[in-house]
């Protein structure tokens, strides 16, 4: 139905702004849970959340084809051109980045481990130079060995945003590139050693403008998956991505489907994190979302690639039926659904008025609006979700005993800001997102209790950031005080989650994801975090950032996203990798 | 009903006229206008009358929506999350939570009173349908008459214009238009803007249909004796147009307006269904249906708005058909 | 018994508004080679009569009673299927408006061929030859070419000729012409009438001409039947009707008859009022509301329905006025006016 | 005849030109009224990293910086002579008819549309067959048995049919026949299998959409046919045919239907043309990847080249359907002369 197609169309949006993580892998031969025997283990008993924190139905049995389906589609299967979390999870089956995340259940999954490289990066020159040594014997699907030059080329081509607009821009922003370099296509002869050096075929060295301790997270980006220059056809490369992983593309038709088969030139000896159990993968794109759920339940499809959880209809079916519920998991994504409280708009320039909103909001209603505890998520009390390393639990604005909002406190706050009878503002949301619509209506109801009159304004998701809520001038003109927003981590640390959405220095004319947080103190903390080498200390700083943002009350957190996903029939080694909040596609097998 | 056309032969087709005269007796003949004759026939058409009555009922419902919901329901946008199962977001109670103070049950997620929302939906639906129809009838009639009456180049241009309109992939185009118009335009905003916008879009795209008919009618009327007569008596253009032609267009205009309204009701519903209609939280039938898509496990959610659309359109169609049969017996439907 | 005989024929149509008595107790008879003219205003039931004879009222909700004897066969009680086989073969009809009466999508030839092949098991080729002959016979130039033209490509007169050709395709013994010339202009009218006279002579068929125009039947018919309100109100030889008509309505018709031998300039004497309703026919004499002499019937006109009585030699009249009075009125009041007019 | 054809063809082209201009301006001019600068407009196509320079790059890549007229000119030119597209590693020639490249997927639009056409065509053809047979048959029978129980029943159903929004009937049928049934493997109607791949599944999966769509039209056609039949059966030439002694069956078929169906053909031609341009609601309801769905998705995603392309395609079908219908009419009805 069209509404569904709207959802689909914007789901992509959701992912663009929401989920996003990196490649993964691990040095351990068998993903956790000692129960893994050589003999195919008997199918484990179904149980709710059996795939979370532990491996469900572990097995080493090879063979079979895993059927994926997705109601939308990849933005692109070209490693240089994708920003979808599920894509970053999936493309590890055909591409190998320098390092990646450990295919293990629970927190362990956030651990960066070497993949194409022999070990994690060697930092020098106070984190400005990073060196990686490639494993020997790794080959492309056509048998040619992988050289460091191929990695360098891959990273450089990914910088060409004219050709690959979808991918992240970390390398663009951090690499120390020569001024005259435009792109590998336009200026192929420009020397780029100032950014990346390849002293020999196995060594690659990155030079950054300024030091960054967490560079391994960059090295884990799909951008470092090697691409043979000879085979690069720019935009059209996605029609046949040259594989380094255990699987290669048999067919890749955007908008229709993809099928992958074993890559004869992949050698288990060079790879300690992949077990490559199935003989291949079939992916059906643009499936009917409700139909997809039903097929997932019936067993006709085994994995919902997007992993964003079942549609409401199926949700009630799954939760209503114990047998079905036992087949489902409820993973937490590193994503927060929240509402920006925009200080540029009067009277929200006043802290107390902003606080009033925090207190008046009905957290339970919000949670329900975002589809409840299972499909929506846990009630959020701060911006940074729990799955982010260094997350600290705190609640500056307790919403009353039953979490339906603290009207009394809200009234106080209003009086404090000189608007005892409340005020009127507009709230922006993405018109084609039922959840945000519902959330807006929930807020409308809740704030009305203290006299804050909310007028809802739906805007097309496609232009939401470009033309509407993402455009400060627009918000001022249209008195938009609240704007629905959502954000997911690129990887699970403070930088990966917060850097894009609380740094006031990133705010520009239009296309902002940070719509409200403007606090020099926050900016200062961010800089501090960047340069803190020690991980724990660094995470502590990010926690401070989170706290500060909440103190400023620039953000009304709604839920820390969760999804209700159904484990496909006959799958083995099923577990959720925290790095993505999705099933780890690398480990999956079939009986 | 008309003469028993099953038997051919001039007499028989002439019968109804003869009948009417006879029925009234020679005296009454002068006194009875076409309108009265039509009304007589209409009154005899039970189905059409049923349709008419339902239409009137709908209009009353739309007008007194606040009163009705005040008595029998809750404000259309009021949440009742106590009625909702927080996990599945569906209604707690079975049968979609239908009970004495939620006559149609509640919406999933927010537990709004479905009854009130359906009632308020009638407002939007009828409002837009009526005004859109008016718009298209006005445009259609004016251009149709002009084209038919003056003929020549004027006719050429207008007819071509109609063709162009008919060539547009209507729905796609309407959606596109409704999609790109900013939230604030022409000094309007919010529902008002959306309503005006939809009225404009719908009305503007359906005028060629009525335009063609009117043009045809005018063409044939222009050649009729009584017009020649008037002309020979020295009547000038405007007089003929307003005194001789327009009055004779009343019947077709009436018929096609009544038949256009239901089409427009469907059109509005479609646009709302596709998400380019009136913006939430304002209740529209089409909008409710599109929300219901994701909650097909609670069928009442799609049932009531769906039936509302169906019955409304049906009623208008029944009435329209009756009206046509009454106003022009030859259209032997 | 004569070739065609109607006995107390009644055709009624129940409608939502009441019972339409289109034909109400009509009787007459007709011999081969003879011509009967049925005259009356529209709504007088003349066309329905003809349709009744051909059994074309069937399929509708028409109620028919009485007897129709054609060549010794009773048609009212006969099966529809049987009547169908007679239609077009034994009895054929020529309709008023040839344009609307011929199918616009088929060529004239096709339509004649169709008519012919229903009743004669012959090849298309033969039938086509036959059609061309017929067209030639009804005086259509280059029939072998025109046979393939469509009705709308013919002139009015040509069309009517083609229509006649179609009717004659199976040499019917009874030919009914319903207003055969009203759609045509005067000169063509004359041609068509001549044509029909000739054809009837060669075919020796019984011919019924239905018209509202006495002028048409004046030349052609042997007998004339005047219908009003579904009833016969005067019947007699052409001479009877033209020389000594006895019914006020017939006088009216004569008065309003445009004749070729008259000056087109002079005004006719119209009949006041309009044809009666066929549902509730005026009480008593159906004609009384329009009758100029109604006052001379001692008021019986309003109350009793007059009988159809013979005045002399098969001349029948349906009127309350005594015979002598009628004759007197004709001689002294009506005839002079008509004479004066000419 | 020939001159007529030429005139009509020119007319068609002009009409398409007008349609294209209007559509183009709606998408390229209206947003500017809304105060969007070319860069703003480009921002929506640069994915997540919408930095100012990125937007600039995109605006330039998509050619938003040129005046609208120039952009339109470029668009038209591409259709007739093709265009060159820089896909990074080199330049590719997109040969005419080139409807440009999607702003989002950056795939050429034309092959993409051709790809969707079979879906819509299958939907339209299948439904058309059903509704023509069902609709016309019902109409004729009702007309012949006028006032009978069958007539009343059929006409009531038909009236209900034209009064039901397809996205409601479609939804209900999906719930009842597809989602409702836990044993079924794939929902008929929610997936499309190419005919050449497996005719059986093709038909099976399209069954629901076909019936739903056909029901709507069949209802309309039944009403039309009935009306037309009643009218022709009252014509003089039908009386003539009977007077010839023609058996009733051939009176109805050869004379009645022949004339009554002519206008139906016209309407059918136009309806069918309209459908080929995308059965928007049906395809959306059943999420069939046809032209209509393509259009909706494109509009929602603001993928202008796609929207332009699909609008033109749809308009093309309508315009040419009407042309063909007129020609056809001249064939069936000898009175019509093309000039």
Give pLDDT tens digits for B280-332: 778 899 989 988 888 887 888 889 999 999 999 999 998 988 888 887 655 44
Tell which of D83, D108, D133 closes a domain: D108
Q: In terms of domains, do B31 and B65 share one? A: no
What does the alpha-carbon distance between residue B119 and residue B98 come to, in Å, rounded to a whole number?
16
Report the half-sphere exposure of B30 (CA within 13 A, side-chain side).
Answer: 1
In sequence order, what are the residues at sequence separation of 6 or more whose Cβ sits closer than 8 angstroms to the Cβ of residue A583?
A51, A303, A307, A329, A565, A567, A574, A575, A576, A577
Q: In terms of domains, do B143 and B182 share one? A: yes
Distance of CA D280 to the CA centre of its chain: 8
Q: Which residues of B touch D241 (CB under 8 A)?
A: none
**Which residues 213-232 of B have a C-beta within 8 angstroms of D?**
none
| Residue B106, in any domain of the structure | no
Q: Which of A532, A480, A523, A474 is nearest to A502 (CA)?
A: A523
- Whether the predicted pLDDT of A86 surpasses 60: yes
pLDDT band for position B333 (cuts 50, 70, 90): very low
Q: In terms of domains, do D41 and D131 share one? A: no
pLDDT at res. A118? 93
| Residue B177, in any domain of the structure | yes
Q: What is the pLDDT of residues C131-183, one digit of tens each?
A: 998 898 888 889 889 999 998 888 888 888 888 888 888 888 898 988 887 77
pLDDT at res. D130? 94
Phi, psi of A284 (to 5 degrees): -105, 120
**Chain B residues with CB within 8 Å of chain A CB:** 77-79, 81, 84, 86-90, 108-110, 179, 183-184, 190, 273-275, 279-281, 290-291, 293-298
Considering only CB atoms, B110 lies closest to which of A1, A367, A441, namely A441
Tell which of D56, D78, D108 closes a domain: D108
Q: Which of B137-141, B188-192, C139-143, D253-257 has the lowest mean pLDDT?
A: B188-192
- Please give the mean pLDDT across all residues of chain C: 83
Using left for φ > 0, alpha for ψ between -120 and 50, and beta otherwise, residue B186 falls in left
pLDDT band for position B17 (cuts 50, 70, 90): very low
Average pLDDT over residues C280-293: 80
Q: What is the pLDDT of residues A311-339, one digit of tens each?
A: 888 888 888 889 889 999 999 888 999 99
Distance of CA B241 to the CA centre of its chain: 27
Q: Which residues of C touch B1 (CB under 8 A)?
A: 15-16
pLDDT at res. A151? 94
Tell which of D108, D131, D160 closes a domain: D108
What does the alpha-carbon distance between residue D177 and residue D168 come to, in Å, rounded to a whole number?
14
End-to-end CA gap in chain D: 6
**Chain B residues with CB within 8 Å of chain C CB:** 1, 3-4, 6-12, 14-16, 18-23, 26, 44
| Residue B87, in any domain of the structure | no
Nearest chain C Cα distance for residue D334, angstroms: 6
| Residue B59, in any domain of the structure | yes
Q: What is the pLDDT of residues D304-326, one digit of tens each?
A: 888 889 888 988 898 888 888 88
pLDDT at res. B182? 64
B5 or B170, which is more confident? B170
- What domains does chain C contain, in order, with CATH numbers? 1-90+173-342 (3.40.50.300), 101-171 (no CATH)
Distance of CA D142 to the CA centre of its chain: 29
**Chain C residues with CB within 8 Å of chain D CB:** 51, 54, 56, 59, 84-89, 92-93, 95, 97, 100-105, 114-115, 118-119, 150, 152, 166
Q: Residue B200: count other Cβ atoms within 10 Å of its Cβ.
A: 17
Q: In terms of domains, do B176 and B323 share one? A: yes
Q: In terms of domains, do D32 and D150 share one? A: no
Q: Which residues of C touch B3 (CB under 8 A)?
A: 15
pLDDT at res. A360? 94
pLDDT at res. D47? 59
Q: What is the pLDDT of residues D137-151, one digit of tens each?
A: 999 999 888 888 898
Q: Which residues of A touch B109 (CB under 8 A)?
A: 312, 368-369, 371, 438
Q: In terms of domains, do D59 and D168 share one? A: no
Whether A1 sits inside 8 A of B184 (CB atoms) is no
In sequence order, what are the residues at sequence separation of 6 or more whose Cβ sits closer than 8 angstroms to the Cβ of residue D10?
none
Quick check: B331 contacting D, CB < 8 Å?
A: yes
Whether A291 sits inside 8 A of D186 (CB atoms) is yes
Whether C42 sits inside 8 A of B4 (CB atoms) is no
The segment with the largest mean pLDDT, out of A472-476, A523-527, D262-266, is: A523-527
pLDDT band for position C266 (cuts 50, 70, 90): very low
Q: In terms of domains, do B174 and B298 share one? A: yes
Q: Which of B258, B214, B280 is nearest to B38 (CA)?
A: B258
pLDDT band for position A6 (cuts 50, 70, 90): very low
Q: In terms of domains, do D114 and D101 share one? A: no
Quick check: A222 and A164 in contact, CB under 8 A? no
Q: In terms of domains, do B180 and B266 share one? A: yes
Nearest chain B Cα distance for residue C171, angstroms: 24
Considering only CB atoms, A4 lies closest to which of D43, D88, D287, namely D287
Average pLDDT over residues B56-63: 93
Q: Which residues of C touch B9 (CB under 8 A)?
A: 47-48, 51, 56-57
pLDDT at res. C323? 85
Q: Which residues of A touch D88 (CB under 8 A)?
A: 157, 160, 162-164, 183, 185, 233-235
What does the alpha-carbon distance between residue B310 and residue D158 come to, in Å, rounded to a whole number?
13
What does the alpha-carbon distance between residue A262 and residue A266 come to, in Å, rounded to a whole number?
8
Taking only Cα atoms into account, the Rg of chain D, rounded to an integer number of angstroms, comes to 25
pLDDT at res. A542? 93
pLDDT at res. D338? 65
Considering only CB atoms, B8 lies closest to which of D234, D274, D311, namely D234
Quick check: D87 contacting A, CB < 8 Å?
A: yes
Nearest CA in chain C to D232: C103
Can chain C be said to touch chain A, i.e. do they have 3 or more Cβ pairs within 8 angstroms? no
Q: Which of B76, B78, B87 to mutate to test the interface with A (most CBs of A within 10 A)?
A: B87
Phi, psi of D113 (to 5 degrees): -70, -45
pLDDT band for position D95 (cuts 50, 70, 90): confident
| Residue B278, in any domain of the structure | yes
Number of domains in chain D: 2
Quick check: A232 and A153 in contact, CB under 8 A? yes
pTM of the predicted model, to two decimals? Answer: 0.81
Q: Which of A123-137, A173-187, C214-228, D86-100 has the lowest mean pLDDT?
A: D86-100
Considering only CB atoms, D333 lies closest to which of C59, C102, C105, namely C105
Q: Which residues of D touch B182 (CB under 8 A)?
A: 33-35
Q: In terms of domains, do B152 and B257 share one? A: yes
pLDDT band for position D183 (cuts 50, 70, 90): low
- Whether the predicted pLDDT of B232 surpasses 80: no
Nearest CA in chain D to B272: D167
| Helices and strands, number each (H, E), in chain A | 17, 23
In three-state form (DSSP H/G/I as H, E/B as E, the rest C), the secondary structure along chain C is CCCEEEEEEEEEEEECCEEEEEEEEEEEEECCCCEEEEECCCCCCHHHHHHHHHCCCCCCCCEEEEEEEECCEECCCCCHHHHHHHECCCEEEECCCHHHHCCCCCCHHHHHHHHHHHHCCCCHHHHHHHHHHHHHHCCCCCHHHHCCCCHHHCCHHHHHHHHHHHHHCCCCCEEEEECCCCCCCHHHHHHHHHHHHHHHHHHCCEEEEEECCHHHHHHHCCEEEEEECCEEEEEEEHHHHHHCCCCHHHHHHHHCCCCCCCCCCCCCCCCCCCCCCCCCCCCCCCCHHHCCCHHHHCCHHHHCCCCEEEEECCEEEECCCCHHHHHHHHHHHHHHHHHHHC
Whether A288 sits inside 8 A of D182 (CB atoms) is no
Quick check: B249 and B222 in contact, CB under 8 A? no
Residue-wise burial string across B42-70, b where 16 or more C-beta atoms lie within 10 A, e elsewhere: beebeebeebbebbeebeebbeebeebbe
Whether A16 sits inside 8 A of D48 (CB atoms) is yes
∠ CA C4-C8-C12, rounded to 5°: 110
Whether A290 sits inside 8 A of D289 (CB atoms) is no
What does the alpha-carbon distance between residue A317 and residue A299 come to, in Å, rounded to a whole number?
15
pLDDT band for position C267 (cuts 50, 70, 90): very low
| Chain B contact partners (≥3 CB pairs within 8 A) | A, C, D
Q: What percent of chain C has pLDDT over 70?
A: 92
Give the domain range for residue B60. Answer: 55-75+122-331
pLDDT at res. C325? 87
Q: In terms of domains, do D307 and D185 share one? A: yes
Q: In terms of domains, do B62 and B152 share one? A: yes
Q: In terms of domains, do D227 and D295 share one? A: yes
Q: In terms of domains, do D97 and D123 share one? A: no
| Chain C contact partners (≥3 CB pairs within 8 A) | B, D
pLDDT at res. D71? 87
**Which residues 111-170 of C have a C-beta within 8 angstroms of B?**
none
Residue-wise burial string across A536-555, b where 16 or more C-beta atoms lie within 10 A, e elsewhere: eebbebbbbbbbbbbebbbb
What does the alpha-carbon distance between residue D95 and residue D111 come to, in Å, rounded to a whole number?
11
Q: In terms of domains, do D28 and D134 share one? A: no
| Residue B101, in any domain of the structure | no
Q: For A139, which DSSP code?
A: B
Report the half-sphere exposure of A494 (CA within 13 A, side-chain side).
Answer: 28
C-alpha distance from residue B81 to each of A42, B96, B108, B274, D27 (Å): 44, 13, 9, 27, 41
In sequence order, what are the residues at sequence separation of 6 or more whose Cβ sits closer than 8 angstroms to the Cβ of residue A315?
A309, A371, A372, A374, A375, A564, B88, B89
Q: What percent of chain B has pLDDT over 70?
A: 83
Q: In terms of domains, do B43 and B128 share one? A: no
Asked if the bond preceding B78 is cis, omega within 30° of 0, the reply is no
Considering only CB atoms, C42 lies closest to which of B11, B16, B21, namely B11
Q: In terms of domains, do B63 and B160 share one? A: yes
Quick check: D303 and D248 in contact, CB under 8 A? no
pLDDT at res. B331? 46
Q: Dihedral (C-alpha) B52, B57, B61, B67: value to the nearest 10 degrees?
A: 150
The three-class DSSP label of residue A91 is helix
- Please give the mean pLDDT across all residues of chain A: 85
A15 or D74, which is more confident? D74
- Whether the predicted pLDDT of D112 surpasses 70: yes
Q: What is the pLDDT of residues A557-591, one digit of tens each?
A: 999 999 999 998 889 999 999 888 899 999 999 98
Q: In terms of domains, do B274 and B222 share one? A: yes
End-to-end CA gap in chain B: 9
- Whether the predicted pLDDT of A153 surpasses 90: yes
What does the alpha-carbon distance between residue A101 and residue A587 come to, in Å, rounded to a whole number?
12
Average pLDDT over residues A402-414: 91
∠ CA A177-A183-A186, rounded to 5°: 135
| Two tokens, residue B3 | 């003469």
Whether A431 sits inside 8 A of B275 (CB atoms) is yes
Using left for φ > 0, alpha for ψ between -120 and 50, and beta otherwise, residue C72 falls in left
Q: In terms of domains, do D175 and D145 share one? A: yes
Average pLDDT over residues A301-305: 92
Tell me the sheet residues that pair with A436. Answer: none
| Residue B269, in any domain of the structure | yes
Give the domain range for residue D134. Answer: 110-336
Q: In terms of domains, do D222 and D154 share one? A: yes
Average pLDDT over residues B233-246: 74
Number of domains in chain B: 2
| Two tokens, residue B45 | 């058409």
Tell me the sheet residues that pair with A582. Answer: A577
Q: What percent of chain B has pLDDT over 90?
A: 18
Quick check: C169 and C112 in contact, CB under 8 A? yes
Q: Residue D22: count other Cβ atoms within 10 Å of its Cβ.
A: 14
Q: In terms of domains, do D251 and D261 share one? A: yes
In sequence order, what are the residues at sequence separation of 6 or more whose Cβ sits closer than 8 angstroms to the Cβ of residue B19?
C15, C17, C18, C20, C277, C278, C279
pLDDT band for position A97 (cuts 50, 70, 90): very high
What does the alpha-carbon distance between residue A376 and residue A274 come to, in Å, rounded to a whole number?
32
- Whether the predicted pLDDT of A28 surpasses 50: no
Q: What is the pLDDT of residues C187-210, one digit of tens each?
A: 778 888 888 888 888 878 889 998
Whether C60 sits inside 8 A of B10 (CB atoms) is no
Q: In terms of domains, do B30 and B153 share one? A: no
| Chain A contact partners (≥3 CB pairs within 8 A) | B, D
Domain CATH for D135: 1.10.3720.10
- Whether the predicted pLDDT of D31 surpasses 90: no
Q: Residue D304: count other Cβ atoms within 10 Å of its Cβ.
A: 25
| Residue B99, in any domain of the structure | no
**In this predicted complex, what is the ipTM?**
0.78
Using left for φ > 0, alpha for ψ between -120 and 50, and beta otherwise, residue A584 falls in beta
- Whether the predicted pLDDT of A43 surpasses 80: no
Q: In terms of domains, do B39 and B166 share one? A: no
Quick check: C51 and D240 in contact, CB under 8 A? no
- D304-332 vs B170-180: helix crossing angle, rounded to 10: 150
């Amino acid at each position: 139905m069209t509404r569904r197609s709207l959802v689909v169309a914007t789901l992509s949006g959701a992912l663009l702004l929401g989920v996003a993580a990196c490649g993964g892998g691990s040095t351990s031969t068998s993903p956790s849970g000692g129960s893994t025997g050589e003999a195919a283990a008997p199918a484990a008993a179904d149980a709710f959340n059996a795939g979370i924190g532990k491996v469900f139905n572990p097995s080493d049995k090879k063979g079979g084809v895993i059927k994926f389906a997705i109601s939308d589609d990849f933005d692109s299967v070209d490693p240089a051109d994708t920003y979808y979390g599920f894509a970053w999870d999936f493309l590890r089956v055909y591409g190998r980045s320098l390092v990646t995340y450990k295919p293990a259940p629970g927190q362990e999954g956030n651990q960066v481990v070497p993949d194409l490289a022999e070990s994690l990066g060697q930092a020098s020159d106070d984190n400005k130079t990073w060196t990686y040594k490639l494993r020997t014997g790794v080959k492309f699907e056509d048998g040619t060995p992988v050289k460091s030059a191929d990695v360098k080329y891959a990273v450089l081509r990914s910088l060409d945003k004219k050709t690959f607009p979808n991918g992240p821009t970390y390398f663009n922003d951090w690499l120390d590139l020569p001024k005259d370099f435009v792109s590998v296509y336009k200026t192929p002869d420009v020397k780029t050693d100032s950014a990346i050096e390849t002293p020999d075929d196995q060594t690659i060295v990155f030079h950054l403008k300024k030091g960054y301790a967490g560079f391994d997270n960059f090295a884990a980006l799909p951008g470092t998956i090697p691409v043979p220059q000879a085979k690069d056809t720019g935009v059209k490369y996605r029609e046949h991505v040259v594989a380094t992983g255990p699987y290669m593309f048999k067919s890749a038709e955007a908008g229709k489907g993809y099928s992958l088969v074993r890559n004869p030139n992949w050698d288990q000896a060079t790879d300690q994190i992949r077990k490559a159990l199935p003989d291949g993968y079939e992916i059906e794109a643009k499936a009917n979302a409700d139909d997809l759920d039903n097929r997932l339940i019936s067993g006709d499809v085994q994995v919902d690639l997007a992993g964003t959880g079942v549609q409401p209809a199926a949700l009630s079916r799954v939760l209503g039926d114990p047998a079905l519920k036992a087949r489902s998991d409820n993973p937490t994504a590193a994503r927060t659904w929240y509402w920006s409280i925009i200080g540029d708009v009067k009277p929200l320039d006043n802290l107390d008025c902003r606080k009033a909103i925090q207190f008046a909001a009905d957290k339970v209603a919000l949670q329900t609006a975002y589809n409840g505890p299972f499909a929506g998520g846990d009630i959020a009390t701060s911006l940074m979700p729990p799955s982010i390393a260094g997350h600290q639990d705190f609640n500056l604005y307790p919403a009353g005993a039953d979490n339906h909002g603290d009207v009394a406190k809200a009234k106080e706050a209003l009086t404090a800001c000189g608007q005892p009878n409340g005020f009127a503002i507009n709230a922006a949301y993405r018109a084609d997102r039922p959840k945000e619509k519902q959330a807006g209506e929930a807020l409308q109801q809740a704030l009305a209790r203290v006299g804050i009159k909310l007028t809802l304004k739906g805007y097309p998701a496609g232009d939401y950031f470009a033309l509407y809520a993402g455009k400060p001038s627009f918000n001022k003109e249209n008195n938009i005080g609240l704007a629905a927003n959502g954000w997911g981590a690129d990887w699970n640390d403070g930088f990966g989650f917060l850097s894009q959405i609380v740094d006031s220095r990133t705010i520009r004319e239009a296309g902002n994801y940070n719509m409200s947080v403007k606090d020099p103190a926050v900016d200062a903390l961010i800089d501090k975090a960047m340069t803190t080498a020690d991980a724990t200390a660094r995470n502590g700083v990010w926690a401070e950032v989170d706290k500060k943002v909440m103190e400023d009350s620039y953000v009304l957190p709604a839920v820390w996203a969760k999804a209700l996903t159904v484990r496909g029939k006959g799958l083995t080694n099923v577990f959720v990798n925290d790095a993505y909040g999705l099933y780890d596609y690398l480990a999956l097998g079939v009986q | 009903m008309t003469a028993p056309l099953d038997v051919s032969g001039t007499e028989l087709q002439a019968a109804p006229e003869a009948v009417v005269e006879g029925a009234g007796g020679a005296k009454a003949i002068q006194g009875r206008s076409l309108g009265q004759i039509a009304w007589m026939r209409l009154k005899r058409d039970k189905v059409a009358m049923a349709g008419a009555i339902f239409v009137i009922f709908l209009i009353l419902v739309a007008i007194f929506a606040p009163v009705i919901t005040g008595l029998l329901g809750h404000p259309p946008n009021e949440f009742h999350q106590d009625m909702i199962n927080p996990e599945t977001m569906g209604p707690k109670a079975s049968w979609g939570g239908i009970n004495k103070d939620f006559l149609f049950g509640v919406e999933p997620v927010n537990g709004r009173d479905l009854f009130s929302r359906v009632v308020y939906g009638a407002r939007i639906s009828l409002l837009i349908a009526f005004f859109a129809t008016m718009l298209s009838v006005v445009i259609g009639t004016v251009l149709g008459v002009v084209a038919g009456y003056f003929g020549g180049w004027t006719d050429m241009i207008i007819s071509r214009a109609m063709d162009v309109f008919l060539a547009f992939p209507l729905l796609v185009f309407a959606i596109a238009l409704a999609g790109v118009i900013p939230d604030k335009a022409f000094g309007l905003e919010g529902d008002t803007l959306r309503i005006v916008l939809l009225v404009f879009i719908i009305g503007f795209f359906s005028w060629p249909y009525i335009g063609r008919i009117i043009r045809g009618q005018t063409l044939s009327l222009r050649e009729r004796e009584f017009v020649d007569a008037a002309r020979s008596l020295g009547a000038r253009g405007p007089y003929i147009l307003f005194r001789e032609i327009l009055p004779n267009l009343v019947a077709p205009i009436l018929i096609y307006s009544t038949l256009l309204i239901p089409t427009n009701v469907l059109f509005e519903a479609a646009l709302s269904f596709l998400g380019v209609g009136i913006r939430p939280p304002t209740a529209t039938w089409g909008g409710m249906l599109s929300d219901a898509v994701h909650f097909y496990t609670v069928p009442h959610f799609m049932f009531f708005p769906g039936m509302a659309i169906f019955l409304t359109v049906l009623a208008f169609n029944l009435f329209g058909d009756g009206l046509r049969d009454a106003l022009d017996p030859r259209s032997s439907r | 018994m004569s070739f065609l005989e109607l006995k107390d024929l009644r055709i009624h149509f129940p409608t939502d508004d009441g019972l339409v008595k289109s034909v109400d107790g009509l009787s007459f008879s007709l011999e081969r080679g003879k011509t009967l003219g049925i005259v009356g205003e529209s709504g007088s039931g003349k066309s329905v009569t003809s349709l009744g004879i051909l059994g074309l009222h069937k399929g509708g909700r028409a109620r028919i009673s009485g007897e129709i004897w054609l060549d010794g066969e009773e048609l009212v009680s006969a099966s529809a299927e049987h009547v169908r086989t007679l239609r077009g073969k034994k009895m054929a009809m020529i309709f008023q408006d040839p344009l609307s009466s011929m199918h616009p999508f088929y060529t004239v030839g096709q339509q004649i061929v169709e008519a012919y092949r229903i009743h004669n098991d012959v090849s298309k080729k033969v039938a086509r030859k036959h059609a061309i002959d017929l067209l030639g016979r009804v005086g259509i130039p280059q029939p072998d070419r025109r046979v393939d033209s469509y009705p709308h490509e013919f002139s009015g007169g040509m069309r009517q000729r083609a229509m006649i050709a179609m009717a004659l395709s199976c040499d019917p013994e009874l030919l009914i012409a319903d207003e055969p010339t009203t759609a045509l202009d005067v000169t063509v009218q004359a041609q068509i009438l001549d044509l029909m006279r000739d054809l009837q002579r060669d075919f020796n068929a019984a011919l019924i001409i239905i018209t509202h125009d006495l002028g048409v039947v004046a030349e052609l018919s042997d007998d004339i039947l005047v219908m009003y309100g579904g009833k016969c109100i005067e019947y007699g030889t052409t001479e009877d009707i033209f020389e000594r008509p006895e019914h006020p309505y017939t006088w009216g018709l004569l008065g309003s008859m445009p004749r070729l031998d008259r000056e087109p300039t002079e005004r006719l004497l119209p009949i006041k009022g309009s044809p009666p309703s066929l549902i509730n026919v005026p009480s008593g004499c159906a004609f009384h509301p329009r009758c100029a002499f109604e006052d001379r019937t001692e008021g019986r006109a309003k109350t009793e329905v007059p009988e159809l009585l013979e005045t002399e030699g098969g001349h029948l009249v349906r009127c309350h006025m005594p015979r002598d009075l009628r004759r007197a009125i004709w001689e002294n009041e009506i005839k002079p006016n008509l004479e004066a007019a000419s | 005849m020939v001159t007529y054809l030429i005139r009509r063809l020119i007319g068609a082209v002009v009409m398409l030109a007008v349609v294209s201009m209007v559509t183009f301006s709606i998408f390229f001019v209206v947003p500017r009224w809304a105060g969007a600068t070319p860069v703003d407009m480009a921002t929506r196509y640069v994915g997540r990293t919408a930095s100012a320079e990125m937007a600039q790059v995109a605006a330039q890549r998509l050619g938003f910086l040129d005046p609208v007229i120039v952009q339109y000119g470029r668009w038209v030119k591409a259709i007739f002579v093709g265009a060159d597209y820089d896909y990074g590693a080199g330049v590719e020639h997109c040969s005419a008819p080139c409807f440009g490249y999607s702003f989002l997927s950056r795939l050429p639009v034309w092959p993409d549309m051709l790809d969707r056409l079979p879906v819509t065509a299958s939907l339209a053809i299948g439904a058309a067959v059903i509704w023509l047979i069902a609709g016309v048959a019902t109409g004729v029978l009702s007309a012949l048995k006028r006032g009978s129980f069958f007539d009343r029943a059929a006409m009531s159903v038909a009236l209900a049919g034209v009064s039901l929004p397809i996205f409601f009937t479609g939804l209900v049928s999906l719930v009842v026949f597809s989602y409702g049934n836990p044993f079924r493997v794939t929902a008929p109607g929610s997936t499309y299998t190419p005919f050449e791949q497996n005719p059986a599944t093709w038909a099976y999966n399209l069954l629901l959409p076909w019936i739903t769509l056909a029901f709507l039209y069949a209802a309309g056609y039944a009403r039309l046919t009935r009306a037309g039949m009643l009218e022709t059966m009252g014509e003089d030439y039908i009386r003539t045919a009977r007077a010839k002694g023609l058996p009733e069956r051939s009176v109805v078929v050869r004379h009645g239907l022949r004339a009554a169906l002519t206008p139906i053909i016209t309407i059918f031609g136009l309806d069918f043309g309209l459908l080929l341009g995308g059965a928007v609601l049906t395809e959306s309801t059943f999420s069939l990847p046809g032209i209509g769905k393509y259009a909706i998705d494109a509009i929602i995603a603001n993928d202008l080249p796609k929207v332009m392309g699909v609008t033109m395609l749809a308009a093309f079908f309508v315009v040419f359907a009407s042309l063909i219908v007129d020609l056809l009419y001249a064939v069936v009805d000898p009175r019509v002369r093309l000039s």
